[in-house]
Chains A and B, each alone.
Chain A
Amino acid sequence: MDEDAKLLQQLLKKQKEGRLKPSDRYKIPPQAMPQQDGTERRDNVNEVALGFTETQARLEAMRCLQCRNAPCMQGCPVRIRIGDFIEAIAKGRYADALGIIKENSLLPAVCGRVCPQEVQCQETCTVGKKFKDVSKAVSIGRLERFVADRAAGPDAVPKVAPETGKKVAVIGSGPGGIVAASDTRRAGHAVTVFEAFHKPGGVMVYGIPEFRLPKAIVQKEIDVLEKMGVKIVCNFVVGRTRTIAQLMTQDGFDAVYIGVGAGLPRFMGIGGEQFVGVYSANEYLTRANLMKAYKFGAGADTPIAKSKKVAVIGGGNVAMDSARTAVRLGAEEVYLVYRRSEAEMPARVEEVHHAKEEGVRFHILRNPKRILGNEDGYVTAIECLKYKLGEPDESGRCRPIPIEGSEFTIDVDTVIIAIGNGANPLIGQTTPGLELNKWGNIVVDDNCKTSLEGVYAGGDIVLGAATVILAMGQGRIAAAAINEYLAAKK
Chain B
Amino acid sequence: MAHKIVSKKQLAENVFTAEIEAPLVSRSRKPGQFVIVGISGEYSERIPLTIAGADAEKGTIRLIWQRVGKSTAEMADMKVGDAFEIVTGPLGRPTHIEKFGTVVCVGGGIGVAPLLPIANGMARVGNRIISILGARTKELLILEEDFAGISDELIIVTDDGSYKRKALVTEPLKEVCVREPKPDLVVAIGPAIMMKFCCEVTRQYSVPTQVSLNTIMVDGTGMCGGCRVEVDGKAKFVCVDGPEFDGHKVNFDLMIKRLSAYKGQEQAAREAYKKHKCKIGLDG
- By a beta-carbon cutoff of 8 Å, the part of chain A in contact with chain B is 196-199, 233-237, 240-242, 263-265, 267, 273-277, 279-280, 282-283, 286-287, 291-292, 295-297, 299-303, 305-306, 376-378, 424-426
Chain A: CB-nearest residue to B257: A377
Closest Cβ of chain B: how far from A171's Cβ, in Å?
12
Assembly CA distance A240 to B230 (angstroms) = 25
Partner of A196, one of B45, B70, B71, B88: B88
Interface size class of B (residues with CB under 8 A): 35 or more
**Known pairs A197-B219, A377-B258; A242 contacts B24 (CB<8 A):** yes
A-B contact count (CB 8 A): 122
Q: Would A276 and B235 count as touching, CB distance under 8 A? A: no
Chain B: CB-nearest residue to A197: B219
Chain B: CB-nearest residue to A241: B24
Q: Would B254 and A237 count as touching, CB distance under 8 A? A: no
Chain A: CB-nearest residue to B221: A196
- Chain B residues near A276: list those with CB within 8 A: 257-258, 260-261
Chain A: CB-nearest residue to B227: A283
**Known pairs A283-B218, A286-B218; A301 contacts B224 (CB<8 A):** no
Indicate if B82 sits at the interface (CB-CB under 8 A).
no
- Chain B residues near A306: list those with CB within 8 A: 265
Chain A: CB-nearest residue to B84: A235
- Chain B residues near A199: list those with CB within 8 A: 41
Indicate if B46 sits at the interface (CB-CB under 8 A).
yes
Q: Would A242 and B222 count as touching, CB distance under 8 A? A: no
Assembly CA distance A277 to B216 (angstroms) = 13
Assembly CA distance A132 to B46 (angstroms) = 51
Q: Would A241 and B28 count as touching, CB distance under 8 A? A: yes
- Chain A residues near B235: list those with CB within 8 A: 267, 273-274
Partner of B25, one of A241, A296, A377: A241
- Chain A residues near B148: list those with CB within 8 A: none
Partner of B269, one of A196, A233, A296, A305: A296
- Chain A residues near B225: list those with CB within 8 A: 265, 267, 279-280, 282-283
Indicate if B85 sits at the interface (CB-CB under 8 A).
yes
- Chain A residues near B44: list those with CB within 8 A: 301
Q: Would B28 and A240 count as touching, CB distance under 8 A? A: yes
- By a beta-carbon cutoff of 8 Å, the part of chain B in contact with chain A is 1, 24-25, 28, 38, 41-46, 70-71, 85-91, 218-226, 228-230, 235, 240, 251, 254, 257-258, 260-262, 265-266, 268-269, 272
Q: Would A198 and B228 count as touching, CB distance under 8 A? A: no
- Chain A residues near B24: list those with CB within 8 A: 236, 241-242
Q: Would B46 and A425 count as touching, CB distance under 8 A? A: no
- Chain A residues near B85: list those with CB within 8 A: 198
Q: Would B240 and A280 count as touching, CB distance under 8 A? A: no
Q: Would A237 and B224 count as touching, CB distance under 8 A? A: no
Q: Would A291 and B46 count as touching, CB distance under 8 A? A: yes
Assembly CA distance A42 to B43 (angstroms) = 23
Assembly CA distance A128 to B208 (angstroms) = 67
**Known pairs A198-B38, A242-B24, A282-B224; A291 contacts B45 (CB<8 A):** yes
- Chain A residues near B87: list those with CB within 8 A: 235
Assembly CA distance A263 to B219 (angstroms) = 11
Interface centre among B85, B224, B230 (most CB of A within 10 A): B224
Q: Would A279 and B265 count as touching, CB distance under 8 A? A: no
Q: Would B221 and A198 count as touching, CB distance under 8 A? A: no
Q: Would B71 and A301 count as touching, CB distance under 8 A? A: yes
Assembly CA distance A235 to B87 (angstroms) = 7
